Amino acid sequence: MIWTADLDFKFTYVSPSVKLMLGYTVDDFIRLNPKELFTPDSYKLIIRHFKKSIMEISEHLYNDSEHFSSVFEIEMIANDGKKIWTEIKINHLFDFNKKLIGILAVTREISQRKLMEMEKNKIHMQLLQAQKMEAVGILAGGVAHDFNNVITTINGNVELCEKKLEPSNPVLMYLKQIKNAVKSAMNLTRQLKLFSRKQSLEMKIININDVIKNIIEILNRVIGEDIVINMHLDDDIWSVRADVGNFEQVFMNLTINSRDAMPEGGFIKIITKNVELTETDCTKYSFLFPGSYVLISVSDTGCGIEEKDKNHIFEPFFTTKSSEMGTGLGLAVVYSIVKQHQGVILVESELKKGSTFNIYLPALPVAPDEDIVEHINFDMLHGDGERILIVEDEKGVRDYVLKLLAESGYTPIIAKDYTEAKDICDKINYQIEMVFCDVVLPDKNGIYLVKELRKIKKNLKVIYTSGYPESKNKILSQNDSKEDTFLQKPYSTYQLLSTIKNTLKPDTEN
């Protein structure tokens, strides 16, 4: 399409192809106010180029060296209101006396090309976001590892103190406060590991109400003072098989999503109840099957979700929020977790009234697993002088394990890395029964150390430990012995002593 405009930027000519591109007749186009033909941003752009072209030559006579040409992309508005991307090349227009009288524009539609470019840019931004999230995930995993060492040291020394005190000693109350703080810190590291995608699922039978009650204080801090959370939890809720940390993440993400939908405040309602779905019920939702379910419902009084977006909200990187507010991963993570638990998540929403996310988890007709209360008779875990080589690069953890094993009847020997451990074994002629070894060491890793030690002492008992949860998979893939044990940091005094005791048992007893 070719068109011309005078020095006042009024259209003076357009080629008949305007009908095909924009749906206007020639006469209708000529009568148009240019502001009606371009989107506001495009109008500003073309006026800027137009003025620049006028300033280049203005009243001067035409000269080849001063010939002006400009190419740029703008959005034009068709007769039916549709926006069309076009590429425009503007040239000067002169009369027979070579005097500037306006501009001549050659225009072609590039909507398809622009669509492909936008899609390419979208994929590129998603890739950048994924790389950014991966980098943050790696950082989170590293922080979790370091934090696990600190927690192991604090918790271990608190438990050593508890063992030395009489039950009536008032200091125990303060130690209990420290242990409660340690538990909170352990939950934090678990969230970090979930974020870094390096936390393996720890499925157990739970009461979902307990998960909600335990995380509600954190949720209230996240949403702010202008949003109120109301809970309606069924007292007789059925059990479900789930990973507690994963569902803490589910509630966190759904609550943050509701908060962002209510910038001026509002209400969030969390409901749990038992439901029996019949075949008739399941005809509404193709993903559900008849049976017993625990329904978890999280609803808000926010802005709601547009109908066109409902089918995309669980897609990774899809978001209707600004880049400052969302990554488009929150609901995708929720969907992934629910699916891993053989559950189904459905959304109901109405614009300006709010949204409701309904999660259906298969119910179990059994009581929740009880957490082990560690009222332990530590005499049963006492050693008999066995020599245990402790290889740990973190001094706080190393000192704690050394004290614990020495007080528990073992003969501990400490080393901070592969080189020191190997030298010690050479000096004592490998007279050790067990190695308690961190997988990650400053010089060589613990798996390599054990392989070297077993060249001399083939029946050596081994317990690996690490603050990195993926280390267990590394051991399974690289280790030759299936008898070796892995103890995840942070571990308690009971966990460490019972693991040592079980590992030291003769093979006939294991």
CB 441 within 8 A of CB 449: yes
Question: What does the DSSP 8-state code read for residue 481?
Answer: -
pLDDT number for residue 82: 92
**Which residue is listed with tokens 């109350």?**
173
pLDDT per residue as tens digits for the range 300-345: 999 998 888 887 788 766 676 655 555 566 788 888 889 888 899 9
Identify the burial level of 431 via C-beta atoms within 10 angstroms of its C-beta, where 0-12 means exposed, 13-18 middle and 19 or more buried.
exposed
pLDDT number for residue 126: 65
CB 279 within 8 A of CB 290: yes
Residue 210 binned pLDDT confidence (cut-offs 50, 70, 90): very high
pLDDT per residue as tens digits for the range 131-188: 766 676 667 667 777 888 888 999 899 989 988 888 889 898 889 888 888 877 776 6
Q: Which domains does the chain have, with CATH numbers?
A: 2-109 (3.30.450.20), 208-367 (3.30.565.10), 378-504 (3.40.50.2300)
pLDDT per residue as tens digits for the range 255-299: 999 999 998 999 999 999 999 998 888 877 767 888 999 999 999
Q: Which whole number is the average pLDDT over 443-449?
A: 90
Helix (H) or strand (E) holding 358: strand 354-364
Identify the burial level of 411 via C-beta atoms within 10 angstroms of its C-beta, where 0-12 means exposed, 13-18 middle and 19 or more buried.
middle
Residue 474 binned pLDDT confidence (cut-offs 50, 70, 90): low
